[in-house]
C-alpha cells in the first residue's frame, strides 16, 4: 500500500510538471513580448515627439502667415523669367518686415537675401526702403534684373513702366485715364479745344505719346494741346496728381536679386524661406 501511495504521488507530481509548467512559461513569454513591443512603441513616440519639438523650435512665428510658391521659369536662360512669389495671410492691422529674410537651397546651400524696395519708385532712382508687408500683399522675387533698375512697390501709376518694357509677370495697367484728369482749357476757340479733347480721349491708360504721334495730329489741334500731351501724360504727372489718393499704394512688391547663374537645382531640391532669426517660414520641394 505504501508503494502504491508513493507511485500515485509521483504520478500526480509528474502530471503537474508536464501540464502546468509549460503554460506558465508560455504566458510569461507572451507578456514579455508585449512589454517589449510597448516599450519600442513608446520609444518611437518619444523620438517622434522630440523630432516634432525640434522642428517646431526652428519654425518662425510667421510660418502660417507668409507662403511661398514653387519656382516659375526654373533655370530659364533668361534670369528675368525666373521668380518665386510670396503671399500673405496677415490679420487686418498686422505687418511683417521681410527685408533681411533669405531663401536657401537645402541641397546646394546656395541662397539669396531679400533686400529693400522703393516705396515711391522712379526709374533708376536707387533709394530703397524696408519691405513691410500688410494683409493681402504679394511679393515677386525675381532672380534677374529690374527693367527700371530698382526693386519697387507698385502703385496706381506704375502701369506706365510697362510701356516699352517687359515685366514677368506683367504689371497691372490701372493708371487713371488722361481724359479724366483735371484738364486745362487748351484754346479759346471751341473747335480747337474740342479737337484736343478728342485726341486726349483716345489715349489709353498708362500710355504716353511720342513726337511722331504729335506730328501726325491735324492742324486743328492747338500747340498747347501737344505740349500738354508731351509734358503731362506720363508717370511723373500721374504720381503728382494721385499720390494723395487712398488707393495710390499698390499691394505688390517686385524684388530683383540681380543674379545670372543657377540658384537652385533643376530637379530634386528643397528651397526654404528663413526669417531674420534663421527660423523656417516656409519651404517648397520638387
Contact 221, 200 (CB under 8 A): no
Rounded to the nearest 5°, which phi and psi values hold at 230?
-70, -45
pLDDT of residue 26: 63
Rounded to the nearest 5°, which phi and psi values hold at 234?
-165, 180
Alpha carbon 110 to its chain centroid, in Å, reads 18
Q: Which segments of the chain have a pLDDT < 50? A: 1-18
Delimit the domains of the chain by residue range. 66-156+251-285, 178-239
pLDDT of residue 46: 63
pLDDT of residue 172: 96
Q: Which residue has the cell 494723395?
A: 244
pLDDT of residue 55: 56
**Residues 138-167 as b or e (16 or more Cβ within 10 Å = b):** bbbbbbbebbbebbbbbbbbbbbbbeeeeb
Q: What is the pTM assigned to this prediction?
A: 0.79
Alpha carbon 131 to its chain centroid, in Å, reads 13
Strands 138-142 and 249-256: parallel
Taking the CA atoms of the chain, what radius of gyration do you get in angstroms?
37
Write the class of the CATH domain 66-156+251-285: mainly beta
pLDDT of residue 9: 43
pLDDT of residue 39: 75
pLDDT of residue 207: 97
For residue 210, with 0-12 CB atoms within 10 Å meaning exposed, 13-18 middle and 19 or more buried, which class applies? Answer: exposed
Q: Is the peptide bond before 169 cis (omega within 30 degrees of 0)?
A: yes
pLDDT of residue 3: 40
pLDDT of residue 175: 98
pLDDT of residue 27: 67
pLDDT tens, position by position, 150-192: 999 999 999 999 999 999 999 999 999 999 999 999 999 999 9
- What DSSP character marks residue 131? -
pLDDT of residue 148: 97
pLDDT of residue 74: 93
Amino acid at each position: 500500500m505504501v508503494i502504491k501511495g508513493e507511485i500515485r504521488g509521483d504520478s500526480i507530481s509528474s502530471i503537474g510538471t508536464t501540464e502546468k509548467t509549460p503554460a506558465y512559461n508560455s504566458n510569461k513569454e507572451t507578456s514579455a513580448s508585449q512589454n517589449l513591443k510597448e516599450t519600442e512603441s513608446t520609444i518611437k513616440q518619444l523620438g517622434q515627439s522630440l523630432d516634432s519639438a525640434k522642428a517646431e523650435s526652428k519654425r518662425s512665428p510667421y510660418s502660417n502667415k507668409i507662403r511661398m510658391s514653387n519656382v516659375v521659369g526654373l533655370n530659364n536662360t533668361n534670369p528675368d523669367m525666373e521668380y518665386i512669389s510670396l503671399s500673405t495671410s496677415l490679420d487686418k492691422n498686422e505687418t511683417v518686415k521681410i527685408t533681411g529674410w533669405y531663401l536657401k537651397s537645402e541641397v546646394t546651400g546656395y541662397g539669396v537675401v531679400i533686400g529693400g524696395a522703393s516705396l515711391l519708385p522712379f526709374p533708376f532712382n536707387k533709394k530703397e526702403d524696408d519691405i513691410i508687408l500688410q494683409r493681402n500683399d504679394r511679393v515677386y522675387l525675381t532672380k534677374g534684373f529690374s527693367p527700371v533698375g530698382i526693386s519697387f512697390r507698385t502703385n496706381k501709376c506704375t502701369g506706365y513702366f510697362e510701356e516699352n518694357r517687359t515685366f514677368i509677370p506683367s504689371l497691372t495697367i490701372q493708371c487713371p485715364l488722361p481724359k479724366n484728369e483735371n484738364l486745362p482749357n487748351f484754346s479759346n476757340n471751341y473747335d480747337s479745344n474740342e479737337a484736343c479733347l478728342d485726341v486726349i480721349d483716345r489715349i489709353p491708360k498708362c500710355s504716353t505719346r511720342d513726337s511722331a504721334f504729335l506730328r501726325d495730329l491735324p492742324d486743328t489741334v492747338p500747340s498747347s494741346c501737344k505740349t500738354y500731351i508731351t509734358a503731362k501724360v506720363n508717370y511723373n504727372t500721374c504720381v503728382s496728381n494721385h499720390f494723395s489718393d487712398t488707393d495710390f499704394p499698390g499691394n505688390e512688391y517686385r524684388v530683383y536679386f540681380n543674379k545670372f547663374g543657377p540658384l537652385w537645382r533643376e530637379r530634386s531640391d528643397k528651397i526654404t524661406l528663413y526669417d531674420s532669426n534663421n527660423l523656417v517660414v516656409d519651404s517648397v520641394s520638387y
